[in-house]
Amino acid sequence: MTEGLQRTALYDVHKRAGAKLVPFAGWEMPVQYDSLIAEHKAVRAKAGIFDVSHMGEFDVEGKDATAWLDRLLSNDVAKVAVGQAQYNVMLFENGTIVDDLIVYKRAEEKWLVIVNAGNIQKDFSWMQKHVGQWGYKDVRLTDRSKEYSLLAVQGPEAAKILQTMTDTDLSKIGTYRFAEGTIGGKKAILARTGYTGEDGFELAVAWGDAPALWDAIVAKGVKPVGLGARDTLRLEMKYALYGNDIDDTTNPLEAGLGWVVKLAKPDFVGKAALAKIKAEGLRRKLVGFEMVERGIPRHGYELVDPATKEKIGICTSGTQSPSLDRPIGVGYLDTAHAALGAEFAVVIRDEPRRAKVVETPFYKRPH
């Protein structure tokens, strides 16, 4: 059922490559081209390219743009330098998560904000509602989502391959830094960011420039990768997925995102609620776990006390890890059961299967 779904500028490219297309966050997106495992391993061993053009892009401009974003978001936006990117969360007043996002400081009065595909309208409305608040009058918010395509090239050889296509010295761009230049003859923002745990770049280009750039990168031996392997790659790193591991019922402290919550800041939306939650102590925590008994954990499976069978949590993401060749999962556990090494059970097809809390990330890159 594809009626009403949006398509990226790369739709025809994906069709030509034989991709299996599925609905995702209101878009028709490639879940895989051939084998999910082969795509996953290509990213870990060499390099893969992803179409992430379904993500949303907003401009925030004006003399008050930095101060306004700092007041709206939980991380320390005021400390970000021009040419730097920052992972952040945007919260409701009750401390739950509107979205997780990345802000890019392009100039003293110009920011690019990249948000999750399924949250574009919600995020834009929430941000628009706050324009002009807190005395910050000089703020202009513009939705540019239909103007940008976004390609992610990830893997240990990604930078080396991309360097052959650009005059920008990629070795000078640190992690969570970016430069503006050209690649493959196309004007681009080249950001050393990603969602796989590997080195690599996310390339923001004009909407219509994506097909030619994609083809040029694939011609260099980079493997097209779908959303299936993107999910297994991010899960091996315990990177949160909005809609699975975090949403408007979760707060960043229980989700392990306390490092992007700066409670020392004078104020931000949701600060009072989070300060109260922290003072009272967390009731549950998002943990990584691996199966002790056979079975693959999946989103929505109950986590129970192995002795009493009482529900003590919920699995939010799970898979058979292609890198580790074992079943792994992420889920919320009551704090009393969330210690490293603690055992519990995952209810798989009505059968409790033993699992234990482990250190994350599950995968540590050797290079």
Structural domains in the chain, sorted by start: 11-53+147-236 (3.30.1360.120), 56-135 (3.30.70.1400), 283-358 (2.40.30.110)
For the segment 39-77, what is each residue's pLDDT rounded down to a tens digit? 999 999 999 999 999 999 999 999 999 999 999 999 999
Give residue 59's identity as a one-letter amino acid code: D
The two three-digit tokens of residue 161, written as one number = 């391959």
Q: How much is the pTM?
A: 0.96
* CA contacts within 13 A on the Cβ side of 69: 32
Q: Indicate if the pLDDT at residue 156 is higher than 80.
A: yes
| C-alpha span between 203 and 53 (Å, rounded) | 10
Cβ(41)–Cβ(244) under 8 Å? no
Please compute the mean of the pLDDT values over residues 258-272 and round it to a whole number. Answer: 98
Q: How many CB atoms lie within 10 A of CB 219?
A: 9
Please compute the mean of the pLDDT values over residues 214-243 and round it to a whole number. Answer: 98
Q: What's the chain's length in residues?
A: 367
Confidence band (pLDDT; 50, 70, 90) for 365? confident
Strand order in the sheet with 186-191: 178-183, 186-191, 200-206, 148-154, 48-51, 223-224
∠ Cα 177 178 180 (to 5°): 160
Please compute the mean of the pLDDT values over residues 139-149 and round it to a whole number. Answer: 98
Cβ(229)–Cβ(48) under 8 Å? yes
pLDDT for position 367: 59
**Helices marked H in the chain:** 11-16, 36-45, 65-72, 120-130, 158-163, 210-218, 227-236, 271-280
| C-alpha span between 94 and 200 (Å, rounded) | 35
